[in-house]
Homo-oligomer: A and B are copies of this chain.
Amino acid sequence: MVSTLKRLLIGRPLKSTELGEQKLNKRKALAILSSDALSSVAYGPEQILIALLAIGSAAFWYSIPIGIGVLILLTALILSYRQIIFAYPYGGGAYIVSKGNLGVKPGLVAGASLLVDYILTVAVSVSAGTDALTSAFPSLHGHTVIIAVFFVIILTILNLRGVRESATILAYPVYLFVAALVMLIVAGLFNILTGHAVPVTHSAIGTPIAGISLFLLLKAFASGCSALTGVEAISNAIPNFKDPAPSNAAKTLIAMGVILGILFSGIVFLAYYYGITPSTEVTVVSQLGETLFGRNVIYYFIQGTTALILILAANTGYSAFPLLAVNLAKDKFIPRMFTIRGDRLGYSNGILFLGFFSILLIVAFSGQTSRLIPLYAIGVFIPFTLSQTGMIVKWMRERPKGWISKLIINSIGALISFIVVVMFLLTKFSQIWPILIFLPLIIWFFYKIYMHYMAVADQLRVSLAEPTFPIKGNIIIIPVSGVTRVVENALNYARSLSPNQIIAVTIAFDKEEEKRFEEKWEKWHTGIRLVTLFSLHRSIVQPLSKFIDVIEHKALDNKYQVTVLIPEFIPRKGWQHILHNQSSLLIRSFLLNRKNVVVATIPYHLQK
């Protein structure tokens, strides 16, 4: 039944040969790989306003200079990643770039941050997508967590079925979203330029605000940087591009940067000009849409495409996490099971792991996007910093043609990313401290796992010099509880193996029982020696275990192997098991962990 359900949800198993990849052209690549980055504009500008709201809405004019700061950072990052694309044409994830240039430890820091971060990608994007929905349909507002969890489950199932990254259908929502936001921005600007709109800003740019501090501005800037999450996606996926892959990828990256910059600036500016105040119930984009169009079909189109692209952005977590997990598992830092392809050729364990932990996060944070974003953003900027630093080291070591200008670009990228990390630590410590506990913990796990795999490989290596324990003979022990067909079957089997010795063992609870059974055994004429153990505490396992200890000890001296054969009768129907004392199961589970004893069940199947 479980298997039927599985087939229904994820479909028939696929053959390994059905694994095929289609190369992406620039237009499709832009759509598919930038959903994470572009969708960030749905929450990034809002985060700036939320940070400024601590002083009051009069401080909102600062969103303009802060937005310009974010644009500068965006430019630096795009240029830096463009260089990574050319330097790592086979995909330069932060884990690979950091490990390759800075060493294993920084690589693991990047890897651990990214693992956590992809989980947060899913949690944040799905929560933000749910916000877009509940802004449009306020009656859903009380059910945020359930809706978000439902989306994660759907995404997990779809990914277990296997979503082709190249599926054309995934491209539409991204272009629709860009179209919707461009429409919003154009309409907003048009109104302003034609004088239809009167500015309702809370204060003019440059108004001095009481109580504003550098700390608060840095905090608002750090918040705004959450709009930049996802810009690294293209540089990780170069092998998916059509040839010449690096140059196509670089062009796509630039295009994405330009679109991201336009959408971000437009929303920041309009939110300021139309005097939008962030609220927990309705998103900034939703408020803008409502102000410009009213709650008509265009408004719902904007909200719908926003929700859709955010959920698609979550899907990039599902593409990236399992691949990173495979890399880490191949390097033996996480369990081997992450390298196994499931029935539908996806790395199912990674997908399930990601789904489970995203749901955990959504539930733990009650689906509140703004509480998740700081953790998400710092998790992004740590690997940003590490991979840019890795590039600096690479240029200094390799010194290719024009390396100085490349070095400068990556140095600026590294520096700004590092400053953002520090700003986060300084201004949002109360929200991001968990990462300072989890990152070291995860890295410690990485090392523990690595050490274990190394120790195992060492112990399993076959060496002709030291062969394993040579077996000179066999002793078979058969626990018996009656003169039955089941026991007869086990005795026959034991005899067929022609061991050096067969011992039948029975456990008696009282003297009378002992005598009766011994007489019965005598009459049976099996030719096999019966040993009766006496159990005052009515335990079967303990006396048997002690007896095996004794035999095992003697056997080891002679390099004999001890085997316990457990006769077991198997009823025809499952429910009938509860009608029988599960002694054989009990004995088996008790003996399975013994060091030098082989345990086998000799089944006797009932016909009726």
Contacts and interface: CB of A to CB of B under 8 A. Distances in A.
Contacts of A498: 497-498
A413 B202 CA distance: 93
A432 B66 CA distance: 75
Contacts of A605: 595
Interface of A: 13-17, 335-337, 340-341, 343, 449, 452-453, 455-456, 458-462, 467-474, 482-486, 488-489, 492-493, 495-499, 509-510, 524, 536-539, 561, 563, 569-571, 576, 578-581, 592-595, 597-603, 605-608
Nearest to A340: B581
Nearest to A608: B455
Contacts of A597: 603
Contact of A460 (B485, B538, B600): B485
Given A497-B499, A509-B16, A536-B17, A452 B603 contact: no
A474 B497 contact: yes
A452 B474 CA distance: 38
A600 B598 contact: yes
Contact of A488 (B343, B462, B497, B499): B462
Given A336-B579, A599-B601, A601-B599, A561 B608 contact: no
Given A578-B335, A598-B601, A468 B496 contact: no
A15 B496 contact: no
Given A458-B608, A493-B598, 13 more contacts: A14-B537, A16-B536, A16-B537, A17-B536, A461-B485, A462-B488, A469-B492, A474-B496, A474-B497, A493-B561, A570-B593, A594-B603, A598-B601
B462 A13 contact: no
A593 B570 CA distance: 8
B459 A485 contact: yes
A605 B579 CA distance: 35
A561 B565 CA distance: 14
A578 B470 CA distance: 30
A569 B341 CA distance: 23
A524 B336 CA distance: 26
Contacts of A452: 571, 576, 579
Given A335-B578, A462-B488, A493-B598, A606 B473 contact: no
Contacts of A495: 471
Contacts of A13: 537, 539
A492 B471 contact: yes
A596 to B, nearest CB: 8
Most buried by B among A482, A561, A603, A607: A603
A459 B335 contact: no
A470 B496 CA distance: 9
A462 B483 contact: yes
Nearest to A339: B581
A587 to B, nearest CB: 14
B341 A538 contact: yes
A595 B489 CA distance: 13
Contacts of A16: 509-510, 536-538
Contacts of A15: 536-537
A462 B489 contact: no
A2 to B, nearest CB: 14
A16 B497 CA distance: 38
A496 B561 contact: yes
A468 B485 contact: yes
24 contacts: A13-B537, A15-B536, A335-B579, A335-B580, A456-B569, A456-B606, A460-B482, A461-B484, A461-B485, A468-B489, A469-B492, A470-B492, A471-B493, A472-B496, A474-B497, A493-B561, A497-B498, A563-B600, A592-B603, A594-B603, A595-B605, A598-B600, A598-B601, A600-B600
Contacts of A472: 496
Per CB-CB distance, the 6 closest pairs between chain A and chain B, nearest first, are A600-B600, A471-B496, A460-B484, A15-B536, A455-B608, A13-B537
Contacts of A484: 460-462
A457 to B, nearest CB: 9
A605 B595 CA distance: 6
Nearest to A524: B462
A368 B486 CA distance: 51
A520 to B, nearest CB: 10
A585 to B, nearest CB: 10
Contact of A485 (B462, B569, B595): B462
A12 to B, nearest CB: 9
A11 to B, nearest CB: 13
B581 A336 contact: yes
Contacts of A538: 16, 340-341, 343
A356 to B, nearest CB: 14
